[in-house]
Structure 1
Amino acid sequence: MRIAHFCDSHPGRSDGVATSVAATVALLRSAGHEVQLYQPAPLLRGRGEPCGVRSVPVPLRNIRVGLPHFSGMRPVPHVVHVHTPGPVGIGGLRYARAHGLPVVMTWHTDLLAYSAHFMEIQFGAAHAAQRLALGWTVRDYLRLARAGTERRHQLLRLGQEFMDRTSVLIAPSAKTAAGLAEFERLPPVWTVPTAIRLDDCPLGRAELRRALRIAETAPVVLAVGRATREKDPALLLAAFSRLLHRLPDARLVMVGVQQHRMSVRRQARRAGVAHALRLVRPVPHSRMAAYYRMADVLAFASTTDTQGLVMIEAEAAGLPVVLADAALADRPGGTGGRLSTAPDAGSMAAALTRVLTDPQLHREVAEAGRAAADAYSAEHYLGHLMAVYAYARGTAGDQGTAGDQGAASASVGASRAARTAG
């Protein structure tokens, strides 16, 4: 099958969308499918994907704005898969409509939640409305600048336009599927979490700890991802501060912190944990397995994520997870629940301390996570994804195995039930 993927996160960006797209494309190609991947690339396109989209960087932000032009795409794909609602994703929607192609969209990001933290959401929404020729008035555009109900209503109007142009919508978690209830009309919704493969890394636990200046016996709390406001680093640091009172030798390693490093350090000083904090800039995904092996527990403080890929990676590596978002406690494939807490410093600190001081609990949480990761394999994910593509083309049953398609059908049923309940 030929699938064209459209994503506004550039390759190597430290976010879940770029990671998910890279894993999905690699998996499809390894299975023999022809994949065209359109992502922001350098303006002169001297490296990266052959289908890279010329783009320009946004100063002081780890973002590139694509300048898409897809009219001469060859060969024409069977399915268009849109991952983001930015210029590249909108270009994919426009191309699909012009050529009568089915669109599969993955709802990776809670844009309504992110709009409170990133002004580019509003600028992007205005651009999307213009490119999709929605006929908005000046008053409609001005509503995007007004925080609160008016902005939310306008973003929902725009999101509805995306839904109306989509054949099948993929929700990467039951939480995301339930949250879609705010839209008036929805295409068929399939809940299909991404499966991530961790590359082996020769870097050993002791070697990495020495590089980070951490004693071999020190309890290590790991956090992975950006430290921007929507990820709630303040909650993480406050919880770790309380943990330090009980475990003074503990260390917090935050991997993937590119932006707001000075802000994080200031917060750490105010919380009294600066001496125990290790900030690590984004590392190649091929080295992440070493960080999971080095740590004793993963702390996930964000409540705005739609999936939390780092939790899936940590569990695959045998690292226990503690999260502050009960809505993401269900593991992929219905394989049990994670250890979740209320999103406050006291509750999160107590749960992290329990995992670090109770060897039996540590082992039980780690084993349950690894078993869940093994049960929801990359092959299961591929089967579900191919069933979605087949459904979008109107030819369900001619791709994948019957078992995979049956599982995916059950998934969409569960998703619809979650949406109705919401």
Structure 2
Amino acid sequence: MRIAIATDAWLPQVNGVVRTYENTTRELRELGHDICLLTPATFHTVPCPTYPSIRLAINPGPRLRRTLEAFQPDAIHVATEGPLGHAARRYCLKNELPFTSSFHTQFPEYIRMRAPIPLAWSYAYMRRFHGPATRTLVPTESQRQRLLERGFSNVVTWSRGVDTNIFRPSADKSFLPQPRPIFMYMGRVAVEKNINAFLDLELPGTKVVVGDGPDRQKLGEQYPDVVFSGYRFGEELARYLAAADVFVFPSRTDTYGLVMLEAMACGLPVAAYPVTGPIDVISNGVTGVMNEDLRAAALQALQLDPQDCIDFAHSRSWRYCAKGFADNLDPFNAPPQDQDNPVTQITL
């Protein structure tokens, strides 16, 4: 199948949405699908207000249309609600083509943290955006229920995976020399991640933050005893995780929290609040501890067996997730493929 995916989240951004589509498209290609990625990388962009590391495409409609007409997709997926997502949505509506969409981020809650905009207004906008999609894919059952309660329709679950070839445990914890136990946060350093809830905890040992974002400098000055490593990638990132003792996930607004799976794959139990995301990923008392008292959760997580976390992560593969993604698409132009003359991949 020829699949076009429009996503405003792409490299060099570092977040769960980007990793999800990186891994999903890799697996889809290995399964024999042809993928056209419509990302900010090949469009004129400007920095997002209040978040300059995110680039927003300017007037992407004409080029997106030309690219889709050249690629002739069998299915179109709108991954995000930014300029590229809007352009792909308009193209499908104008040409009366079915499309699927994804709800990755609780933008209404994120916007509310930065501006006094009522949640009801933001959710009304999101319902309008996703309403024409034949299916809206969300990562967990609890998130599906939240959207149904907000008046969304045709919402289905599409799970997430982890690359256990990269994220794996290590018997040698000496990579991080700080006093133990080491409690780690990995992800975007921004207000919507509720990272202060972790940094304010009175915990023994050391707190380590792996990642970057608009609040890193301010928080580094505010919490001089916390180790801020900045972004780390691939094998080095996995070494950071594997050298810690507990992964602390303070967010209350994530729809999934892919980093929790990556931490588990490295043998780290997770401490989190009992909210959407963690409640679908963590087996409470086995692979992590969920508690409104995040300090208590972090200390109790120290007592859990890392092998239970590793075993759980190994049951979540990206291949399985990619198949689920493809199964939920709505093809509109899928003639039988000539196995002797495979089509050429186009990747932007």
The offset of 1:309, in angstroms, is: 0.4
Question: Which amino acid in structure 1 is aligned with residue 129 of structure 2?
Answer: F
Confirm or deny: 8 A CA contact 1:219 1:295 kept in the other structure. yes
> Aligned residue for 1:98?
94
Q: Which runs of 5+ in 1 are unaligned?
A: 42-51, 120-146, 269-273, 399-422
Distance 1:181 1:58, change over 3 A: closer
Confirm or deny: 8 A CA contact 1:258 1:282 kept in the other structure. no
Structure 1 counterpart of 2:46, from 18, 33, 56: 56
Matched, 1:192 2:158: yes
Matched, 1:178 2:145: yes
Question: Which amino acid in structure 2 is aligned with residue 219 of structure 1?
Answer: P
Distance 1:103 1:303 in 2: 30
The offset of 1:286, in angstroms, is: 4.3
The offset of 1:299, in angstroms, is: 0.3
Q: Which runs of structure 2 are paired with 1:64-143 in the superposition (5 Å)?
A: 64-67=55-58, 68=60, 69-73=63-67, 74-118=70-114
Q: TM-score, normalised by structure 2?
A: 0.85
Confirm or deny: 8 A CA contact 1:329 1:339 kept in the other structure. no
Distance 1:83 1:202, change over 3 A: closer
Distance 2:280 2:168 in 1: 28
Give the structure with higher Rg (CA): 1
Distance 1:324 1:201 in 2: 24
The offset of 1:32, in angstroms, is: 1.9
Distance 1:378 1:72 in 2: 31
The offset of 1:354, in angstroms, is: 2.5
Confirm or deny: 8 A CA contact 1:114 1:230 kept in the other structure. yes
> Aligned residue for 1:16?
16
Distance 2:40 2:264 in 1: 31
Structure 2 counterpart of 1:257, from 193, 212, 216: 212
Q: Which runs of 5+ in 2 are unaligned?
A: 337-348
Distance 2:245 2:141 in 1: 28
Confirm or deny: 8 A CA contact 1:3 1:34 kept in the other structure. yes
Q: Secondary structure at 2:52's aligned position in 1? A: coil
Q: Which runs of structure 2 are paired with 1:6-405 in the superposition (5 Å)?
A: 6-41=6-41, 52-58=42-48, 61-67=52-58, 68=60, 69-73=63-67, 74-118=70-114, 147=116, 151-186=118-153, 188-200=154-166, 205=172, 208-210=175-177, 214=178, 218-239=180-201, 242-243=202-203, 247=204, 250-268=205-223, 274-275=224-225, 277-331=226-280, 336-337=283-284, 338-343=287-292, 347-356=293-302, 358=303, 362-363=304-305, 366-389=306-329, 392-393=330-331
Distance 1:105 1:286 in 2: 32
CA deviation vs aligned residue, 1:316-345 (integer Å, no higher than 9, x gap) = 22211111233333445xx944534344xx
Distance 1:6 1:30 in 2: 20
Q: Which runs of structure 2 are paired with 1:404-419 in the superposition (5 Å)?
A: none
Distance 1:375 1:206, change over 3 A: closer
Distance 2:10 2:278 in 1: 29
CA deviation vs aligned residue, 1:123-179 (integer Å, no higher than 9, x gap) = xxxxxxxxxxxxxxxxxxxxxxxx25xx33332332222222201111111221111
Distance 2:89 2:235 in 1: 32
Which has the larger share of helix?
A: 1
Question: Which amino acid in structure 2 is aligned with residue 233 of structure 1?
Answer: I
CA deviation vs aligned residue, 1:274-304 (integer Å, no higher than 9, x gap) = 33x1101112244321111111110000001
Distance 2:168 2:265 in 1: 17
Confirm or deny: 8 A CA contact 2:248 2:270 kept in the other structure. yes
Distance 2:235 2:84 in 1: 27
Where relative contact order (Cα < 8 A, 6+ residues apart) is larger, the structure is: 2
Confirm or deny: 8 A CA contact 1:7 1:83 kept in the other structure. yes
